[in-house]
Amino acid sequence: MEKVYVVKVGGNIIDDDAKLHQFLYSFAKLKGKKILIHGGGKLATRIGEALSIPQQLVDGRRITDAETLKVVTMVYAGYINKNIVAILQSHGLSALGLSGADANIILAHKRENAAIDYGFAGDIDSVNSNAISSFLGNDFSLVLSPITHNGKGQLLNTNADTIASEIARALSKLYSISLVYSFEKSGVLLDVEDESSRIPQINPDYYQELKSENKIFAGMIPKLDNAFKALDQGVSEIIIGPAENLEELINGATGTKITAI
């Protein structure tokens, strides 16, 4: 099967111009078909506050009320997405910037029955793998923002890590998928303050052991849960690590590899 890279870049990289440019240079150099999923970093918070729209985060996830939805749509699907596309084009990559609402790529529903009301947060129902495959087949590298829709005219704000996992799983029936979560750290760390505490490899048993002993940073758990779920459902390989040099990360010189056994 043909190889496709599904790469998610963390918000802290997007907030740093130098790191973002280095990451996008590395992404553009990756051989073959590829998809980039990005979040929004802190820009949406700054713009929301400048517009006197209170911004609230719970466990790193944004409460998306009606006014905040307008802000994140403008920032994520607008400025950040098109800025990334423009930089990739400067490196000779034919990049196509879309949201999950475009071409019906991602259908979602408003989160219900949660302990916390996240507002217009979207949980994914389906991924249009045929549409994505059509774009890839025409030699576009996709850049996806985390704005989705419910098919009834309502936009939703959906977690970018989850989007990366769901797209990887959907495309695994058509391609050999390498799912890469790239961010500012050297990998999954035993001590979040110590880059040298990187764990080179994690399998399900070791993951449960780390969680039971509270050795996994809480913010990493949703990412790892998504990773193991994707691995169980056909994704070929999953890597978590630093964004600046994707080639080293993919070649195993750094980062953490998620394995089934």
pLDDT in tens, 5-52: 999 998 789 999 999 999 999 999 999 999 999 988 789 999 999 999
pLDDT for res 175: 96
H or E stretch covering 97: strand 95-99
Enumerate the domain spans of the chain: 3-258
pLDDT for res 261: 81
**Residue 148: C-alpha distances to residues 6, 21, 28, 54, 189 (Å):** 18, 26, 25, 22, 31
What are residue 127's DSSP bridge partners? 106
Dmax of the chain from CA atoms?
A: 50
- Over residues 66-94, the mean pLDDT reads 97
Q: Nearest-CA neighbor of 142 among 84, 91, 74?
A: 84
pLDDT for res 137: 97
SS3 annotation, 148-175? EECCCCCEEECCHHHHHHHHHHHHCCCC
pLDDT for res 102: 98
Task: Give phi and psi for 108, each to the nearest 5.
Answer: -140, 175
pLDDT for res 157: 97
CA dihedral of 28, 144, 21, 16, whole degrees rounded to 10: -160
pLDDT band at 254 (very low <50, low <70, confident <90, very high): very high
Q: Which amino acid belongs to residue 222?
A: P
Residue 79 has pLDDT above 80, yes or no: yes
pLDDT for res 5: 97
pLDDT for res 223: 81
pLDDT for res 68: 95
Which residues neighbour 160 within 8 Å (Cβ) at sequence distance 6 or greater?
A: 8, 37, 38, 39, 146
pLDDT for res 244: 84
Could you please state the CATH topology (level 3) that the domain comprising 3-258 is classified under: Carbamate kinase (3.40.1160)
